[in-house]
Amino acid sequence: MTHSTDEQAIEPSGEPFATLEEIYVRARERLDADAWAVLDGGAGAEQTLRDNLAALRRWSFRPKYLSGVTNLITSTTFVGIDLAFPVLTAPIGGDGLFHERGQCETAAATAMAGIAPVISEASRFSLETVAAASDGPKVMQLHAWGEPDEFLALAQRACRAGYAALCVTIDCPTLGWRERAMSRRYLVPEEQWSGNYPATGASAAHRLISGFGSDWTWETLAQVRRRLEVPLLVKGVLTAEDAELAVGAGVDGIVVSNHGGRQLDCLPATMDQLPEVVDTVRGRVPVAVDGGIRRGSDVLKALALGADVVLVGRLTAMALAAGGAVALSAALRLLRAEFERSMLLAGRRSLKDIDRSMVRLSAAAAQ
Ligand SMILES: Cc1cc2nc3c(=O)[nH]c(=O)nc-3n(C[C@H](O)[C@H](O)[C@H](O)COP(=O)(O)O)c2cc1C
């Protein structure tokens, strides 16, 4: 951490936004009601969406003062990808709703920030177009549906385009029951999510939307894993059982996720499930988490609960809506600066010093 970066974030000179909250407010102002319902909404009664946020608030820090902390070390490596700080942007489908260049802006901003994006398959833009938007490392996200050969064809396209790793989302055999958009009689227009499906591939995507389901099993995943040459993450693990199956299928990393409360409602909060997954995995593969991360101290809590890195979903989409790569760059600077400030205030110099002993359930939550 340099002090100049910090000072810029706190007393911005020429910075477009002084706080992350300003970015969220700008996104709300800029988006129309349909796009806002898609971005901000969850599934069903939105219990999981709320619980993700509430679970983070239940944890408090146990600081270690006079630890002689000066020069922070926040860089890390995740599935072979170097990150300046332990954050990736989460995949955001329907990206053209939020910015006319969608995930191309995400690719540009993450490269500037020294981190990596997980790029959604369900994009307005082809994966090749997004790949060309920056030189930075990228992860390509695909869904666990359709014929394995169709999946592998898309995966191989991603490898040819230079993606460093793949991420398969398992909690989306069909779309969640998204009532906010339903009550507006709104369906995300096909051109916003079909950039990767020239003709044939669209059939699987249509099946997904129509509630057809997926015939994939862990064995399907193990088979495709064996036929891939880049690291494969699995996104959507929430239990010890699925974590064990994922490791058994040969995956290279796990993302603890409930899709930001957008798929099955009434799933537990990700921060409540993270320790269970971490304890099951026992370091055999790295563990990422997403859900409810809105500020730097949330990143620190997730790491304290055992995550190696976090993914940020709505934060990314809101920043795109607030002003594309410029706003997302500002958001990532602010996120990093607050994360580093929190580390320093809590007396932890490097990521290695962050463990479960630095958080406790707040008294109210423990009752
Ligand atoms: C607008 C929107 C689109 C999303 N599209 C995808 C997607 O295409 N694939 C996927 O795996 N997850 C998708 N997600 C889920 C995110 O990747 C991530 O799991 C979730 O947003 C994390 O929670 P958070 O929004 O509270 O950070 C989407 C989320 C949002 C908000």
Q: Assess whether pLDDT exceeds 80 at residue 206.
A: no
pLDDT at 366: 59
Please give the residue range of the domain that contains residue 227: 3-354
Confidence of residue 83 (pLDDT cuts 50, 70, 90): very high
Q: Assess whether pLDDT exceeds 90 at residue 232.
A: yes
Residue 31: inside a domain = yes
Alpha helices by DSSP H, the chain: 3-10, 20-30, 33-40, 47-57, 102-113, 127-131, 148-160, 179-183, 202-209, 218-226, 240-248, 270-281, 296-304, 314-346, 363-366
Residue 57: inside a domain = yes
Q: Assess whether pLDDT exceeds 60 at residue 141.
A: yes
Cβ neighbours of residue 281 closer than 8 Å, sequence gap 6 or more? 243, 247, 254, 287
Is residue 169 within a helix (H) or strand (E), and if so which, with residue range?
strand 165-169
Give the binding-site residues of ligand 1, using a 6 Å CB cut-off: 38-39, 52, 90-94, 120, 122, 141, 169, 235, 257, 259-260, 262, 290-293, 312-314, 317
pLDDT at 14: 62
Q: How many domains does the chain have?
A: 1
SS3 call for 90: coil
Residue 362: inside a domain = no
Q: Assess whether pLDDT exceeds 50 at residue 12.
A: no
Residue 18: inside a domain = yes
Residue 169: inside a domain = yes
Nearest CA residue ID for atom 30, ligand 1: 92
Share of the chain above pLDDT 90, in %: 87
Question: Which of 190-204, 220-234, 299-313, 351-365 has the least mean pLDDT?
Answer: 190-204
Q: Assess whether pLDDT exceeds 90 at residue 55.
A: yes
| Contact in structure between 35 and 98 (CB atoms under 8 Å) | yes
| Average pLDDT of the residues of the chain | 93
Closest by CA to 238, choosing from 61, 47, 48, is: 48
260 Cα: distance to centroid of ligand 1 (angstroms): 6
> Rg of the Cα trace of the chain?
19
What average pLDDT score do residues 224-238 get? 97
CATH number where 97 lies:
3.20.20.70
Residue 147: inside a domain = yes
332 Cα: distance to centroid of ligand 1 (angstroms): 17
Residue 364: inside a domain = no
Residue 363: inside a domain = no
What average pLDDT score do residues 16-38 get? 97
